Structure 1
């Protein structure tokens, strides 16, 4: 099997990459990156992308693909709203569109987020842009899945990107008490995204609780 991936240096993209490299059924992983990571593996090819809005120069790499994962993103407040929209919407749609042209039978997994607003009326940039991305990808000839996790608890400790995430990490044990709607472990999210990319599932939009119940036994 052949897999494409963006966002491999991020928390979830990195975990999905690990799953791909460990899976016997996968023999080729192409990771689109801003710069080389230095990681070496016989299955892995890193491709430096100059413009994440245009994959035409890499279209030959999109042929005969079985699964693709878009995990590239930015935190609200980390970049301007214009840049957040470009990363969240334009980058994701460009990737999915090229996949739909070159490998229309591939499964495409989008790392979206809780609150993604498909009415596109939200005043919150994150929710608005995630909803816009989902809507545009849904129009493509593609077997696509949008994952909407709540707070993602990093199983491997990291430096949190902002105060809100430090607070959420502290509150995570309490959030778990309130059920499956609000939080998920990073490893569980990555495992389910990997599984769905390979096998598919019966829902196109997976909220936090939907993701948790699909964790492979």
Structure 2
């Protein structure tokens, strides 16, 4: 029985992971860090409102005795200023990881990163640069850390696409799927794969799109 900590449970992937945790007999408790209450009620769920995701001084107890943690907060490129994009992508993730390291050093941590994350930190693309920065800084903490790098995430549930590019990608998904496991993954597949890796661990610390699909396939075959 594990105690789980998650941020970003209101998002597409975070919500799938949350539901997997709540329905699993392997999970004892889920602490969800949120900006505002979701009114989601469950006997396993404890929601905690966080005003500043870079300041956890008044919330240290939430990070104690955690077995597995998921960081799923993210923002679409171009939807906010570059400064805020970096703060959300790097600072939020690193502060979360540092608190986890301090209070539950043996916990597993899954970071929702992305394909192309650049650990050389030389990319001129904000997404690749900042995802690489976050991975590097968290890796230095010596947690059991897994960087999850999906390609295009196909939303299984209908939604209003955040911009024109994502609208086009959704229409092109059948073609992307035909290109193989390197380029795309369904939202439900990604959520389930992250959940399994966060709870059970994995052989690799950096999991690209094809690794996530392979991991999920192996899990399905074992069941």
TM-score bucket (shorter structure): over 0.9
Residue 13 (str. 1) matches residue 14 (str. 2): yes
Q: CA deviation at 1:56?
A: 2.1
Cα shift readout 1:41-86 (whole Å, capped 9, x = no counterpart): 1111111101100122111111110100000010001100000000
Residue 115 (str. 1) matches residue 116 (str. 2): yes
SS in 2 for 1:69: strand
The CA distance in 1 between the partners of 2:113 and 2:24, in whole Å, is 24
Structure 1 unmatched ranges of 5 or more: none
Match of 1:86 in 2: 87
SS in 1 for 2:52: coil
Instruction: With the length of structure 2 as denominator, give the TM-score of the two structures.
Output: 0.96
Cα shift readout 1:148-180 (whole Å, capped 9, x = no counterpart): 000000111111100010000000000011110
Residue 151 (str. 1) matches residue 169 (str. 2): no
Q: CA deviation at 1:141?
A: 2.6
Q: CA RMSD in A?
A: 0.6
The CA distance in 2 between the partners of 1:195 and 1:55, in whole Å, is 27
Q: CA deviation at 1:118?
A: 0.4
Instruction: With the length of structure 1 as denominator, give the TM-score of the two structures.
Output: 0.99
1:148–1:206 CA contact under 8 A, matched in 2: yes
Residue 165 (str. 1) matches residue 173 (str. 2): no
SS in 1 for 2:124: coil
SS in 2 for 1:2: strand
Cα shift readout 1:13-33 (whole Å, capped 9, x = no counterpart): 000000000001111100000
The CA distance in 2 between the partners of 1:66 and 1:140, in whole Å, is 16
Matches within 5 A, 1:45-56: 45-56=46-57
SS in 1 for 2:207: strand
Structure 1 segments (4+ residues) deviating >4 Å: none
SS in 2 for 1:60: helix
The CA distance in 2 between the partners of 1:155 and 1:50, in whole Å, is 30
Match of 2:132 in 1: 131
Match of 2:211 in 1: 210
Matches within 5 A, 1:23-34: 23-34=24-35
Match of 2:96 in 1: 95
Match of 2:185 in 1: 184
Greater displacement, 46-55 / 67-76: 46-55
The CA distance in 2 between the partners of 1:205 and 1:155, in whole Å, is 24
SS in 1 for 2:19: helix
SS in 1 for 2:27: coil
